[in-house]
Amino acid sequence: MKEQDKFILDIKRLGINGEGIGFYNKLAVFVKNAIPGEGIDVEVTKLYPKMAIAKPISWKKTSPHRQNPICPYYEKCGACQVMHISNDYTKVLKRELLIEAIKRYTKLNPKQFEIRELVNMAEPLNYRNKSTSVIRKYSGLLTLTMIEEGSNLTFPIDKCLVLDPKINEINEKIIKLANEEQIKAYPDEKYSLRYLITRVAKFTRESLVCLVVYKYDDEIKRLANKILASKICDSLYININHDSKTHEIFGEESIYVGGKESICEQLGKYKFNIYPTTFFQLNTLQTINLYDSVKKACKLTHREVVLDAFCGVGTIGIYISNLAKEVYGIEFNKESVEAAKVNAKINKVKNINFYQGNVTKLLPELNKKGISFDVCIVDPPRTGLGEEVINFILKNPIKRLVYVSCNMSTLAKDLNLLSQIYKINYIEPFDMFPQTSAVEAVVAMTLK
């Protein structure tokens, strides 16, 4: 095989980035926007030692699950990868992504434990409670932009269909106001405005806006005052990011400008304060389903002491606290720990304790105090638990382990090691981000 070769390819499965995968002389060939079951005339565009990238030329056989993407930016954007596939079939394919990860990265047989149906959303649009928009000037006017797939280039958009409609409304009003005030953004010289961060709580409908700027100058102050006067949002912040080369959106300094100091979101009967930089699940409705699944997997009877490792701002620990005897949350990020303590106070949860630091360092200290755990919940970042934490768990096992994952590859690799001493009872996958290829999962395990 060489570049520019053309042939008919049968698509066998979905890839982790939403592409279709077929095989030509045992070499995996990845085709964007292809669906398992389709036969496609393709042309090879890039060749690697163990894989090839091809573009579709024409379809010989089309999947009955193919649909026209309703987003006008779908082909260019890349933030969504499976909008061309029906919601019902996406449910099947995402579960298969989980199974494929287990087959590829573990010695486990996925048929030896229960892999439940993927929990998806009946309405797979308008679910995201936060937007992060790059602000650019096109044809003399400020506009929201997205980054074009596979590049650093931006292109203008009117709205995003996976966002809460109220976010789109707020963004439109702020851009209109910024244009009226003739605020400068790239490629203007000496511009300040960089990003627009907008959050809307699903249940309370409170809204927060944060303008990320190079400098908090008179121009930005004027815009901020206009936003407050127009009552576009409930809370307004300015974040200053002086670094022109960084890919990080937020700088170290956030300035509260006006309105509420935070907005409130509700998960079940619990309320949580949200600030500009607070980590909070982007799909509120599915978060409730996910946390209910965690609660069931813990099998709590009011007698158990629970460890919530990687606890963040305490959402999971607080959510399951009413069924536990005691909950101990550990989190490395100091700001998150302080937010978790505030969240516990707001909800009058008295049987939860939060500690800042490394799990492997703090657990021995808690054990010395006579604290032992019946259940351990881990919700690590996309990189997984890491070797140090896994080795610690293997040497200091807790009877019941509940693993919440946002990355099927790292989940599978971690399960391969944890299965030395843990039995996998079941895995329940979730579609937290409809229209994308991402899958989340809750794994229920017990000591062998």
Known catalytic residues? 406
Amino acid at residue number 257: V
Of the candidates 342, 343, 276, the one whose C-alpha atom is nearest the C-alpha of residue 316 is 343
Beta strands in 228-297 (DSSP E): 235-240, 253-259, 263-267, 270-274
Q: Which tokens belong to 200?
A: 């809307």
Cis peptide bond prior to 187, omega within 30° of 0: yes
What gap in Å lies between CA 149 and CA 138, rounded to an integer? 19
Of the candidates 358, 296, 354, 280, the one whose C-alpha atom is nearest the C-alpha of residue 116 is 296
DSSP notation for 359-402 = HHHHHHHHHHTT---SEEEE---TT-S-HHHHHHHHHS--SEEE
**What is the Cα Rg of the chain in Å?**
24
Q: State the virtual CA torsion across 311, 316, 319, 322 in degrees, nearest 10.
A: -60
Of the candidates 143, 290, 277, 144, the one whose C-alpha atom is nearest the C-alpha of residue 208 is 277
Count the neighbouring beta carbons within 10 Å of the beta carbon of residue 252: 11
Furthest CA-CA distance within the chain:
68
Q: Is 308 exposed, middle or buried (0-12, 13-18, 19+ CB in 10 A)?
A: buried
Q: 419 by DSSP, 3-state: which? A: coil
**8-state DSSP, 349:** -
What gap in Å lies between CA 63 and CA 71, rounded to an integer? 20
Of the candidates 48, 54, 50, 41, the one whose C-alpha atom is nearest the C-alpha of residue 8 is 41
